[in-house]
Chains A and B, each alone.
Chain A
Amino acid sequence: MMIRGFYTSAAGMISQQRRQEMLTNNLANANTPGYKADSASFRAFPNLLIKAIGVDNRPLGKSHFVGELSTGAYLQERTLNFRQGDIHETGNNTDIALLQGVVPLNEDTGRPGGLFFTVENQTGDVRYTRNGNFTIDGQGYLTTSEGFYVLDPQGTRIHVGNEEFQLTSEGLLSNGVQINVAYVQDPNQLVKEGNGLLRYEGAQAVNTAIGNPNITYQLRQGFIERSNVDASQTMTDMMAAYRSFEANQKILQAYDRSLEKAANEIGRLG
């Protein structure tokens, strides 16, 4: 092994690059309704235990273990921030904002669960979304902008006919149909798929929040939940990630100069 720090600083550059990708995507979605920002968690690579060899005549009581060495970090996970986005009035009858109220804490994670609309994608699977920028398809069903059906608590499609429907704050339509609000106990198990959709990968069943006395929520027709990306915070984080990338590059250069000395100057005669 030549110089251990060489790969450590390279790992630092790669992880900052990954973080920058994430922040760029957050910034790109600063105007996407219902978008939940990602936040990065880094994790150190497993530590190495360094042991000195050939030091049999070490001082009394001193161990031949030198200590631990970490060989860098990587971007382990991108956790979704489920903070409520701002509510923005559009006046459009097919825009519905979901305002999360009191939701019980999850016993395992100690964090509140999440509330989502349920939609049916093109393969007939259930997906979750907070993007309430809906529309009506040709047959009169309430759908997302991609044409995925919005579902009721029984998992059936919702027929509204035309745009002139009224929705109560509980999610009850004028024709008596209820828009489902799903209660996900551990929202960290939701995975982004794009098109505003979230896929649930957890083991626990997702129940409806409708009629659950421990959950409060409000549906607001004619409003939209904005992205919860904070553009100035994201820009600051991007600058920090950039400088961290630069610092790792400088260290890489320093190692390169050490190697240069080793290659060209050690053992030079005259």
Chain B
Amino acid sequence: MNQNMITASVTMGQLQKKLDTISHNVANVNTHGFKRRDVQFQDLLFQQLNNQTVQQQETGRNTPFGLRVGSGAKVAQTNIRMEQGALLQTGRTLDVAFGEPNFLFEIVSLDGERRFTREGAFYFTPNPNNDDEVFLVTGKGDYVMSETGQAITIPAKHEALKIEPNGQILVTTKDENNIDTEQEIGRLQIVRATKPQLLQNIGDNYFTFPNLNELGLTFDDVIENASANQGKLIQGSLESSNVDLGKELSELILTQRAYQFNTRSISMADQMMGLVNTIRG
């Protein structure tokens, strides 16, 4: 095939990937705790073409001998952007938002794979084995992990529930004398991603890490447990998506135009091949 067509069609395929990422960002503009991704390009391999083999005749050259023929562009990396999203006040007891970037809640794993989320919209679900207790779960129904690695259980009949900025959960219950007592029932497991570019989106607003053994890493290299004064949890609020619609749409226009430019390259290459075919018209 014609080199022009290869270059342009390969690049269009890669531009499509950028359009896909932009669409995903825009689709999640209202997803709480969503972190956008940013696509950057890179040029593809260059091929050395020695079109003039008699180098003595190549007088007046400024560059090394031969031509370097490129083959288009590809997506270099899709960076996750961890910057803080705007806080949205909901007033709901079980909504908690991080006030600082890079912190994540951990979810109790059922299959051994550690999962994390930035979305702090929690719910209660009854404990089938104990009517006096409820579990704290995410919107999808997965158990939120406590500092000790267990699911968080909360007395079903409580008067108030308070989540401190460091993740401590304080529950107020009435004792037999009808007097309110406040007790700490645990602390949310909060981690800070030190290498956020390794986070993988697995849907349902969850993140996971790739196989760290293959990369020669351990979990200690990529996350650290939040200390007592970190995280800055805010109860009664949710973090909105950090997608900037204006920015995404300008990128969309730019990418679409780049796509169109490459289609024009293909149609020109096609017309040139047509001209070759009609030399002997």
Q: Does A87 contact B (CB under 8 A)?
A: no
**Chain A contact residues (Cβ within 8 angstroms of B): what range?**
35 or more
Cα distance A30–B81 in the bound complex, in angstroms = 23
Closest to B11 in A: A28
A133 / chain B contacts, CB cutoff of 8 Å: 40, 42, 76-77
A90 / chain B contacts, CB cutoff of 8 Å: 38
User: Residue-by-residue, is A185-196 near B (CB-CB < 8 Å gives 1, otherwise 0)?
Assistant: 000110111111
Q: Does B27 contact A (CB under 8 A)?
A: no
A21 / chain B contacts, CB cutoff of 8 Å: 3-4, 7, 69
Q: Does B271 contact A (CB under 8 A)?
A: yes
Q: Looking at the complex, which one of B7, B195, B275 makes contact with A25 (CB distance below 8 Å)?
A: B7
Q: Does A138 contact B (CB under 8 A)?
A: yes
Q: Is the CB of B40 within 8 A of A33?
A: yes
A256 / chain B contacts, CB cutoff of 8 Å: 279-280
Cα distance A2–B72 in the bound complex, in angstroms = 40
A91-B83, A109-B62 given; A252·B69 CB < 8 A: no
Q: Looking at the complex, which one of B67, B198, B217, B271 makes contact with A242 (CB distance below 8 Å)?
A: B271
Q: Does A157 contact B (CB under 8 A)?
A: no
Q: Looking at the complex, which one of B42, B51, B261, B271 makes contact with A75 (CB distance below 8 Å)?
A: B51
Q: Does A253 contact B (CB under 8 A)?
A: yes
The stretch of B88-96, B159-167, B170-178, B262-270 that contacts the partner chain: B262-270
User: Residue-by-residue, is B70-83 near A (CB-CB < 8 Å gives 1, otherwise 0)?
Assistant: 11110011010101
Q: Is the CB of B215 within 8 A of A138?
A: yes
Q: Is the CB of B38 within 8 A of A192?
A: no
Q: Is the CB of A188 within 8 A of B280?
A: no
Q: Is the CB of A78 within 8 A of B195?
A: no
A28-B7, A90-B38, A249-B276 given; A35·B62 CB < 8 A: no
Q: Is the CB of B258 within 8 A of A31?
A: yes
Cα distance A58–B240 in the bound complex, in angstroms = 93
Q: Does A115 contact B (CB under 8 A)?
A: no
Q: Does A68 contact B (CB under 8 A)?
A: no
Q: Looking at the complex, which one of A139, A163, A245 makes contact with B275 (CB distance below 8 Å)?
A: A245
User: Residue-by-residue, is A205-246 near B (CB-CB < 8 Å gives 1, otherwise 0)?
Assistant: 000000000000000000010000001001100110010011
A194-B45, A249-B279 given; A28·B8 CB < 8 A: yes
B61 / chain A contacts, CB cutoff of 8 Å: 76-77
Cα distance A161–B262 in the bound complex, in angstroms = 39
Q: Is the CB of B41 within 8 A of A31?
A: yes
Q: Is the CB of B275 within 8 A of A146?
A: no
B69 / chain A contacts, CB cutoff of 8 Å: 21-22, 25
- Interface of chain A residues 12 through 54 with chain B (CB within 8 A): 13, 17-18, 20-25, 27-33, 35, 38, 43, 46
Q: Does B131 contact A (CB under 8 A)?
A: no
Determine how close the nearest CB of chain A comes to the CB of B181; give it in whole angstroms. 42
Q: Which A residues are within 8 Å of any B CB, using their own CB?
A: 13, 17-18, 20-25, 27-33, 35, 38, 43, 46, 74-80, 90-92, 94, 109, 131, 133, 135-136, 138-139, 145-146, 161-163, 188-189, 191-196, 201, 224, 231, 234-235, 238-239, 242, 245-246, 249, 252-253, 256
Q: Which 10 A-B pairs have the closest CB atoms?
A: A194-B45, A25-B70, A145-B76, A28-B11, A145-B77, A28-B72, A32-B41, A188-B62, A24-B265, A201-B64
A-B contact pairs, 22 of them (CB 8 A): A20-B269, A21-B3, A25-B7, A28-B265, A32-B43, A43-B60, A76-B61, A92-B79, A136-B197, A138-B195, A138-B221, A163-B196, A188-B62, A189-B63, A193-B45, A194-B71, A195-B44, A238-B264, A238-B268, A249-B276, A252-B279, A253-B279
